[in-house]
Amino acid sequence: MNKKLFTTLALASLVAAPTAQAKINWQDISATYLNGSNYEVGDTDRQVFTFEHAAGYSWGDSFLFVDRLKSDNGDTETYAEVSPRFKVMDFNSNGLFKATYVATTWEIGQGFDNYLIGLGTDLNVTGFDYLQLNAYRRSNEFYESNYQLTAVWGVPFAENFYYDGFIDWSSASEGHAAEMNFTSQLKYNIGPMIGYDNRLYVGVEYAHWNNKFGIPNVDERNVNLLLKVHL
């Protein structure tokens, strides 16, 4: 697909869909602060400020985030992803599969844009708030096209604890080693303790990233302290 056309469609869907007789079923906005000392590729010590917005609509769902990274050596970087999924079919709510989607993602970095398109599904699994699986064909700025599999989940437990995260696996292609990024957050909601009506989490994020950015033998094992507020 033409990259400019893909970008136009993705942005138009996010901006126009909520006002074009589409129902907003739910939405969530949050801000996160991370601090870690074992980053690979660049300075090892960084702070990350993240804005996230997730929503479910009558036409599907969307997720976007913006990361602002600040390294101890003074380097800064901004990275974002926009991921609308367009619903194709609903299934029996009591079955394993809830729905199928055309899944898309636009990765926006400093000096590059990558575009993903494929198929996705939501699964009904006991104990999970949500469990999503997506399979993509990637069109990349700096290396040949390849494929990606993504799983995303959220699990509440022990009243105020929450465990969520994602696994991305992408295939090898010319100029890019196969990589696997398993990043998850374990956190505790302290909102009730201080009288905050929404969720206010403290916890840790752990990134287990093999061949980071497709660079052979660059493996990140990174624990971050986490503070996350839902607005």
Model confidence at 1, pLDDT cuts 50, 70, 90, reads very low
pLDDT at residue number 4: 46
pLDDT at residue number 94: 81
Q: Is residue 209 part of a domain?
A: yes
For residue 155, which of 198, 197, 117, 184 has the smallest C-alpha distance? 184
Three-state DSSP at 13 gives: helix
Alpha helices by DSSP H, listed for 191-231, are 191-194
Q: What is the tens place of the pLDDT at every residue in 133-187?
A: 999 999 999 999 999 999 999 999 999 999 999 999 999 999 999 999 999 999 9
Domain residue limits at 148: 23-230
Q: Is residue 9 part of a domain?
A: no
Q: How many CA atoms within 13 Å lie on the side-chain side of 125?
A: 14
pLDDT over threshold 60, residue 15: no
Residue type, position 166, single letter = F
Q: pTM for the full model?
A: 0.89
Q: Is residue 6 part of a domain?
A: no
pLDDT at residue number 40: 97
pLDDT at residue number 19: 45
pLDDT at residue number 8: 44
Q: What percent of the chain has pLDDT over 90?
A: 87
Three-state DSSP at 111 gives: coil
Alpha-carbon distance values, 224 to 70, 81, 204, 208, 230 (Å): 14, 21, 6, 12, 19
pLDDT at residue number 22: 74
For residue 167, which of 182, 149, 153, 155 has the smallest C-alpha distance? 182
Q: What is the average per-residue pLDDT within 209-226? A: 98
Q: Is residue 16 part of a domain?
A: no
Q: Is residue 201 part of a domain?
A: yes
Q: Is residue 167 part of a domain?
A: yes
Q: Is residue 123 part of a domain?
A: yes
Instruction: Please count the structural domains in the chain.
Output: 1
Residue type, position 84, single letter = P
Q: What is the tens place of the pLDDT at every residue in 103-115?
A: 999 999 999 999 9
Q: Is residue 11 part of a domain?
A: no
Instruction: Measure the CA dihedral 45/46/47/49, to 10°.
Output: -160
Rounded distance, CA 3 to CA 116, Å?
A: 10
Instruction: Measure the CA dihedral 71/75/76/79, to 10°.
Output: -90
Three-state DSSP at 19 gives: helix
Residues 6+ apart with CB under 8 A from 5: none
Three-state DSSP at 4 gives: helix
Model confidence at 38, pLDDT cuts 50, 70, 90, reads very high
CATH for 87: 2.40.230.20
pLDDT over threshold 50, residue 5: no
